[in-house]
Structure 1
């Protein structure tokens, strides 16, 4: 129970990696705010956590909407008395080659993967930056991607946003380190979620087709030394580490979770 009596916000936690993170943090004693566009999925995760003796509430909504950041943080503070952990996980992909990409397509990825985390971090400042030299550590974990480190064909918008998120991570670590706020990022490779499943399955989000063509997915898998995609639970374990006391002296880092795809 490394996170006993701590309060965490996990965006995009109705499914996939976010869901696994929320459940794992709750298992370690955290009170968790479950945030997702889909209220039904958010409520289902809350029910799962409560049934196992944990504490969670649902906050459905769009992380890119006006006042979302202030409202979800107010919910955490009024419901559980504070905010100790912020996991910026929400996101999706909208792929296209640079010469065919629209302004809307590019901006959408910046909005959800970079601007929304910035607004959440800014809104969290009064509750996370308590005092210089505080003995209490608070944690921010931003979910980036190998695309943000290495680039990726067809993902100029996504890669640019995820690269920017790494820059934001390192800057917050420098600015807030004296307040014992640790800000780190995870850069995921191929993790088995809706975003990386076979496009042939027909999943979509806001009218945008999700997934990777099966042939391309197989190529990715063969390029990974471990010869497989990671699971959401494996991805969540890395976030738990950075959110826990085990990482109190880890700050401004990017933890690569990719099965050895890039070293």
Structure 2
């Protein structure tokens, strides 16, 4: 597999997962547009690629607006002559429970994750279609968007929306030969570093030590580098037949998430009255209700951390 001659944009790629994605695309031969809101961090990311023989440039701007989206596409075309690959990774968190979440908490997360993905994909796909490039759209989802998570109304809505858009774009872009897929990563990042359950794994990663097998294998939780290979694969010509998918990856695990499908289908002549539902719902539907949120097994004793003191 080679990405030689191809050009990519990776939003939110100044550090963390986004930087790992950009570096792997460059390692495989692609020229990369780095994006971050902090110009110094973006320039440092560019240098990390150039110092190893890669080709990169930076656009320092917050994603969300159509202007930023077009600036990213224009940067790829002006510096590299084309655009073949887009990875929408930029994101922020504003976590709090529903009754405490402000309009600004909600709007900020939706604007960066959901609107930022939409505007950037729209600009990139328009360029690819107009120039007859069989491009690759790779959007970053989250387990929270698949199953929900306490305190993340805004983030769950945005990430679920991204996967819904990817399925739609796979249909709309198929004729142009452009693929659209979502990745559901599980990795040590600044976002997961605050979760006590992952403390032992995050500490090991920060210290340059291998993560315990419990995290890598049992939970499918790993490093940013564990995710980046899938980014490069989906960006390649080898993945031309893969589109409209939500693919989970982390640690030693890869998963294909199913599309939502009915788990129970029942019919009743004359329709479903209140009385009929009162009688039949508990057995026909109630016994098959779906659970919500991620379920983690108990940590092995040797990986547990003392609870913080009040």
How far off its partner does 1:226 sit? Answer: 2.8
8 Å CA contact 1:225–1:261 kept in 2: the answer is no
Moved more, 14-23 or 40-49: 40-49
The match for 2:136 is 139
8 Å CA contact 1:224–1:261 kept in 2: the answer is no
Structure 2: where are the runs of 5+ without partners?
A: 203-211, 258-310
Distance 1:196 1:182 in 2: 29
Taking the TM superposition and a 5 Å limit, the aligned residue runs for 1:161-176 are: 161-176=158-173
Provide the TM-score with structure 2 as the length reference: 0.73
Moved more, 251-260 or 80-89: 251-260
The match for 1:18 is 18
The match for 1:236 is 228
Distance 1:65 1:179 in 2: 25
The answer to whether the aligner puts 1:179 opposite 2:176 as a matched pair is yes
8 Å CA contact 2:66–2:119 kept in 1: the answer is no
How far off its partner does 1:227 sit? Answer: 5.0
The match for 1:97 is 97
Give the structure with higher Rg (CA): 2
The answer to whether the aligner puts 1:249 opposite 2:241 as a matched pair is yes
The answer to whether the aligner puts 1:195 opposite 2:191 as a matched pair is yes
How far off its partner does 1:234 sit? Answer: 0.6
Q: Deviations over 1:192-251 (max 9, x none)?
A: 111111xxxxxxxxxxxxx33x25757999787535731001111121111112211000
The match for 2:304 is none
Q: Deviations over 1:46-81 (max 9, x none)?
A: 112112111100111111245111111111111111
The match for 2:40 is 40
The number of aligned residues is 245
8 Å CA contact 2:223–2:250 kept in 1: the answer is no
Q: Which of 150, 155, 159 is the equivalent residue of 1:158?
A: 155
Q: Deviations over 1:12-54 (max 9, x none)?
A: 1110111011111011110100101121121111112112111
SS at match of 1:185: strand
SS at match of 1:148: helix
How far off its partner does 1:130 sit? Answer: 4.2
Structure showing greater relative contact order (alpha-carbon pairs closer than 8 Å, 6 or more residues apart): 1
Distance 2:181 2:217 in 1: 25
User: For the structure 1 residues 173 and 66, does the alpha-carbon distance in structure 2 shift closer, same or farther, using more than 3 Å as the test?
Assistant: closer
Moved more, 171-180 or 39-48: 39-48
Distance 1:146 1:100 in 2: 23
SS at match of 2:166: helix
- Aligned CA RMSD, in angstroms, stands at 2.4
SS at match of 1:129: helix
The match for 1:200 is none
How far off its partner does 1:116 sit? Answer: 0.8
Distance 2:24 2:149 in 1: 30
The match for 2:280 is none
Distance 2:224 2:142 in 1: 14
Provide the TM-score with structure 1 as the length reference: 0.86
